Copies of this chain bind each other. A is one copy, B any other.
Amino acid sequence: MSAPVIAIDAMGGDFGPRSIVQASIACLLATPSLHLTLVGQASLLEELIARHSGVDRSRLLVVNATEIITMDDRPSLALRGKPDSSMRVALRLLADGKAQACVSAGNTGALMALSRFVLKTLPGIDRPAMVAAIPTQRGYCQLLDLGANVDCSAENLYQFAVMGSVAAEALGVARPKVALLNVGTEDIKGNQQVKLAASLLQAAPGLNYVGFVEGDGLYRGEADVVVCDGFVGNILLKSSEGLATMIGERIETLFRRNVLSRAVGALAMPLLKRLKADLAPARHNGASFLGLQGIVVKSHGSAGAQGFQSAIQRALIEIQENLPERLHGRLEELL
């Protein structure tokens, strides 16, 4: 395999290009074969790179793009109104074969719309899905869709299940257990789409479908891949982030209550801080778009340099595992 090249949308996200440049340089140091192409306002990016010493510029290109898609821009504007946005130029590098993956921390809706337009979906896939690794009591599960598709047919859910299973295999899980998220585990439970998707999955050859899983079962680690529509997945992901944040703050408040609890807190806090990164994984590891003719990873808008670095790592794994081609092969068998 030739050296992997990842195109980076350097202008997206709440934390700005400074963190993205920092994360990119850290990744180049950690992975000597990696090449990165930063896309954005070239003069600014060169200035930010110049602040770091020892950068191997033969592995770090800068490509200019004059426009920026903001977090508030509608997908339609991103598609039609900003032909030279950093996001679009980065995706074009991928479409033109000048990069094998694209990472952005920008506007999710715009990134999905542009990815579909520039890269196209894999044959047989109606809609790409967003997937992220969620921590469970037994490790991680791949949860999809996370918000790209608010209304889903049974066929969409079936396609998500197939794609999630292949993605979990690529991440090292043998015969991943695939489940549909539902309000109960009995056959009669759920809405029409979920019941119909269940019958499609029961009949799917070579898929390790284990049935329905409930919200608590997801966190008990009952499945390696959990499938739902983007409305439910987005609510689950964001409410989990909100709850984890609230618990963290309540613990801190508890430990600040009096002298004794402050003393205990000073001892306990370093341990509790270790938990924090685990509890908001999408924030830290990024979410992948599955079902496109190319690898696109979305870093959380407020993730900072550490999170962006994890998103680049995820893109690298997907390149090494040749994820779109594996998906394509599996989809040909199953759809």
Binding site for B on A (CB under 8 A): 74, 135-137, 147, 150-151, 181, 183, 188-192, 214-220, 228, 230-232, 234-247, 249-251, 254-255, 261, 264-265, 267-268, 271-272, 274-275, 278-279
Contacts and interface: CB of A to CB of B under 8 A. Distances in A.
A84 to B, nearest CB: 25
A190 B147 CA distance: 9
Contacts of A214: 234-235, 238
Given A255-B271, A264-B268, A150 B191 contact: yes
B219 A246 contact: yes
A332 to B, nearest CB: 31
A242 B255 contact: no
Interface of A is mostly: helix
Chain copies in the assembled complex: 2
A215 B240 contact: yes
Contacts of A190: 150, 231
Contact of A249 (B137, B191, B215, B236): B137
Contacts of A181: 235
Contact of A254 (B151, B192, B243, B274): B274
A105 B176 CA distance: 36
A254 B239 CA distance: 24
Nearest to A266: B264
